[in-house]
């Protein structure tokens, strides 16, 4: 936090990136960890913590993964629920029908998604904008149709029940609270990975692709490969979340992985603020809580949700988290910018 | 002597219109080499072909004796060619420093997995990249703007950000596509100084520019293109006194009838 205002540029490499350097980046993560740990300790029996909290966690993992693709690399995907579903169904099918151990099934799910995502990434990412959106949408729908139609394997619209729980090193995950800790741990890990990637050579390459593919190529970035890499990574994280989800729920059905889920995930990314890892987490929290809270309005739930989203997008188009953070920064005394001109002389 | 860049018989047409036809030239190391010509003469097509964005219909490009024709732009870049763009291609979603750090892509190695886990080697490389970027920024007189978002800076500054970004890749040849377009007199003067310093630092410059004063002051050699073909080649003095060039471009009695 005590970054000196680039008095000696060459010595330190100067201070840093948009949202602060290593110090402030990890501060955010620690803050998030503190909240995540404090909640169940303060409210161990609260439904919103142990049940909705787990749902929030899954959404956060998915949103952070999707944000790497949409927010940073600028490549839209309207079919990400498919990867979530592929992970979940692989785990469910292999454990219930073939008696595989959950961990092996999970690895198989990851391997399967690695293959599928790698195969489709190159041709699909050749497309841009609306065309890419349509192609990913199509992929999501195809996967969903297979889930519904391949009854022998997937159980069709009814899904598969009796998916065994998980146990880690002999510890069975039995209660909601157990699952809360596991999912929270994964959320923090994924946030950490995402922050690391964004603030690295690869992350800059991703953002460069977003900024100008033309210039990115000329700076020596293999844009095709870079896009494919982040697509596959994003798919793998989603598949991992899917496997966990199957074991946590004990049940999978096509509804959890439909087109609407993909759209919800995109909404979370946009709602929180594109190209912000914390924004994606924030978007996941906000949308999931909102939906859980709006349940009391029954039939009007979607209407109210839609209205809120419209209002946010009109007044805070850069997203809730990013917009509010920027507003806060503007409201605070501007200390950061000054030394940029005077620092050299003073030091 | 062999040139740094050798272009032979280069041809490229779009739907029957020849943008480049049988273009030959040779850029020796350590010079500023300008390409001039009326709008539509094929200058930008030439740049895009050299960089690998277009595949030529005929002809070849050799750089340091190696064939470049048919390579993807990022591979061309890895061979030691970088460029700036006529229409700004700045990464507006980043700060000035980050833009230039992208320029260091080819000089660093970290892959996705190592980056995700933030291995110690990654931290070391990040420090190194930051230093390189600072050097390039300082070279272009931009270090005081390092933390500004690119989207908040004026056009003239962004032109130099592109130069810094290209230099950060430590190229052997820098292609500059109209670096002075849209700049005022002061900025143009700064750009002239910068081009000279780039050349003095050992990086050859291939320059496309419409500002003839700048071209004649800064260049060691000049190539004139017209309708995709080479009209003349020589030192600025030779070009300025070449009758055909004066008629076609520099301004004599003939003006462009079309366009």
Report ipTM for this prediction.
0.91
How many other CB atoms sit within 10 Å of the CB of residue B119? 14
pLDDT value at B72 more than 80: yes
Tens-digit pLDDT profile for residues A24-47:
668 899 999 999 999 999 988 888
Query: Cα(B146)–Cα(A15) distance, rounded to whole angstroms?
Result: 9
Query: Cα(B204)–Cα(B188) distance, rounded to whole angstroms?
Result: 19
- pLDDT value, residue A74: 94
Q: How many Cα atoms within 13 Å fall on the side-chain side of residue A207?
A: 26
pLDDT value at B256 more than 80: no
pLDDT band, very low/low/confident/very high, at A22 (cuts 50, 70, 90) = low
Answer with the residue of higher pLDDT: A346 or B119.
B119
Q: Is A333 domain-assigned? A: no
Of B92, B110, B143, nearest to A9 by CB-CB distance is: B143
Query: Cα(A207)–Cα(B149) distance, rounded to whole angstroms?
Result: 13
Domains for chain B: give ranges and CATH numbers. 1-80+171-259 (3.40.50.300), 90-154 (no CATH)
The alpha-helical segments, DSSP class H, found in chain A are 9-12, 22-42, 47-50, 52-67, 80-97, 102-125, 129-149, 151-154, 176-198, 201-211, 213-218, 223-249, 259-272, 277-293, 301-315, 320-331, 339-346
Q: Is A74 domain-assigned? A: yes
Distance from the Cα of A30 to chain B's closest Cα (Å) equals 17
Q: Is A81 domain-assigned? A: yes
- pLDDT value, residue A157: 93
Query: Cα(A191)–Cα(A184) distance, rounded to whole angstroms?
Result: 11
Q: Is A134 domain-assigned? A: yes
Name residues 226-255 of chain B within 8 A of A (Cβ).
none
Tens-digit pLDDT profile for residues B155-182:
999 999 999 999 999 999 999 999 999 9
pLDDT value at A161 more than 90: yes
Q: Is A318 domain-assigned? A: no
Query: Cα(A67)–Cα(A127) distance, rounded to whole angstroms?
Result: 19
Q: Is A341 domain-assigned? A: no
End-to-end CA distance of chain B: give it in Å, rounded. 40
What is the domain count for chain A? Answer: 1
**What DSSP designation does B248 have?**
I
Which residues have C-beta within 8 Å of that of residue A202, sequence separation ≥ 6? Answer: A226, A229, B110, B111, B112, B115
Look up the pTM and report it: 0.89
CB contact under 8 A, A16 and B102: no
Measure the CA dihedral A243/A244/A248/A250, to 10°. Answer: 10
Please count the residues of chain B: 259
For residue B232, how far is the Cα from the chain centroid? 21
Instruction: Report CA-CA distances (Å) from A121 to A75, A114, A115, A223, A325.
Output: 11, 10, 10, 12, 34
Which residues have C-beta within 8 Å of that of residue A110, sequence separation ≥ 6? Answer: A87, A236, A239, A240, A243
- pLDDT value, residue A1: 35
CB contact under 8 A, B118 and A196: yes
Nearest chain A Cα to B80, which residue?
A: A220
Name residues 146-175 of chain B within 8 A of A (Cβ).
146-149, 162, 165-166, 169
Give the residue from A73, A218, A322 with the most B CB atoms within 10 Å of its CB, the best one to mutate.
Answer: A218
pLDDT band, very low/low/confident/very high, at A334 (cuts 50, 70, 90) = low
Q: Is A324 domain-assigned? A: no
- pLDDT value, residue A343: 34
Average pLDDT over residues B208-216: 94
DSSP-assigned beta bridge partners for residue B176: B84, B207
Which among A252, A55, A223, A202 has a CA at the least distance from the CA of A128? A223
Q: Is A185 domain-assigned? A: yes
Domain membership of residue A109 as a residue range: 19-259
Structure tokens at A323: 């917009």
């Amino acid at each position: 936090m005590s970054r000196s205002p680039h008095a000696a540029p060459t010595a330190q490499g100067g201070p840093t990136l948009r949202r602060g350097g290593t110090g402030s980046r990890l501060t955010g993560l620690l803050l998030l960890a503190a909240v995540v740990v404090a909640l169940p300790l303060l409210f161990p029996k609260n439904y919103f913590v142990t049940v909705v909290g787990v749902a929030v966690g899954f959404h956060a993992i998915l949103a952070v993964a999707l944000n790497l693709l949409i927010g940073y690399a600028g490549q839209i995907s309207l079919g990400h629920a498919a990867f979530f579903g592929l992970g979940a169904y692989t785990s469910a099918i292999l454990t219930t029908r073939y008696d595989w151990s959950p961990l092996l099934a999970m690895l198989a799910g990851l391997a399967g998604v690695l293959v599928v995502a790698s195969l489709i990434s190159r041709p699909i990412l050749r497309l841009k904008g609306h065309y890419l959106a349509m192609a990913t949408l199509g992929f999501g729908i195809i996967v969903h149709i297979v889930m519904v139609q391949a009854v022998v394997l997937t159980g069709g619209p009814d899904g598969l029940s009796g998916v065994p729980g998980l146990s880690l090193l002999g510890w069975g995950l039995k209660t909601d609270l157990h699952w809360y800790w596991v999912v929270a741990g994964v959320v923090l890990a994924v946030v950490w990975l995402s922050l690391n990637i964004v603030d690295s050579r690869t992350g800059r390459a991703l953002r460069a692709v977003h900024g100008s593919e033309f210039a990115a190529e000329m700076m020596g970035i293999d844009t095709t490969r870079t896009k494919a890499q982040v697509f596959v990574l994003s798919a793998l994280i989603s598949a991992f979340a899917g496997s966990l989800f199957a074991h946590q729920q004990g049940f999978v059905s096509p509804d959890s992985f439909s087109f609407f889920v993909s759209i919800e995930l995109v909404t979370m990314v946009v709602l929180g603020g594109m190209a912000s890892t914390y924004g994606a987490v924030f978007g996941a929290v906000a949308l999931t809580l909102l939906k859980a809270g709006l349940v009391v309005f029954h039939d009007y739930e979607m209407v109210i949700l839609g209205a809120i989203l419209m209002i946010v997008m009109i007044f805070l188009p850069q997203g809730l988290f990013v917009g509010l953070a920027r507003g806060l920064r503007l409201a605070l005394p501007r200390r950061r910018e000054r030394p940029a001109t005077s620092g050299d002389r003073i030091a | 002597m062999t040139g740094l860049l050798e272009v032979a018989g280069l041809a490229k047409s779009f739907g029957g219109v020849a943008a480049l036809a049988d273009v030959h030239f040779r850029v020796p190391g350590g010079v500023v080499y300008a390409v001039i010509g009326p709008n539509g003469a094929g200058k930008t097509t030439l740049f895009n072909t050299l960089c690998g964005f277009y595949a030529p219909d005929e002809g070849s490009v050799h750089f340091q004796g190696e064939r470049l024709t048919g390579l993807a732009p990022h591979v061309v870049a890895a061979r030691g060619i970088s460029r700036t763009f006529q229409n700004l291609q700045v990464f507006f979603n980043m700060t000035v420093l980050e833009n230039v750090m992208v320029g260091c892509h080819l000089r660093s190695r970290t892959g996705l997995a190592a980056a995700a886990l933030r291995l110690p080697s990654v931290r070391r490389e990040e420090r190194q990249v930051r230093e390189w970027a600072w050097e390039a920024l300082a070279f272009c007189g931009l270090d005081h703007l390092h933390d500004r978002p690119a989207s908040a800076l004026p056009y003239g500054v962004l032109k130099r950000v592109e130069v810094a970004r290209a230099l950060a890749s430590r190229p052997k040849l820098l292609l500059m596509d109209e670096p002075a377009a849209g700049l005022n007199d002061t900025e143009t003067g700064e750009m002239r100084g910068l081009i000279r310093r780039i050349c003095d630092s050992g990086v050859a410059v291939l320059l496309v520019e419409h500002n003839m004063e700048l071209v004649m002051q800064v260049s060691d050699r000049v190539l004139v293109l017209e309708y995709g073909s080479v009209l003349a080649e020589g030192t600025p003095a030779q070009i300025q006194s070449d009758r055909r060039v004066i008629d076609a471009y520099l301004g004599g009695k003939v003006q462009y009838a079309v366009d």
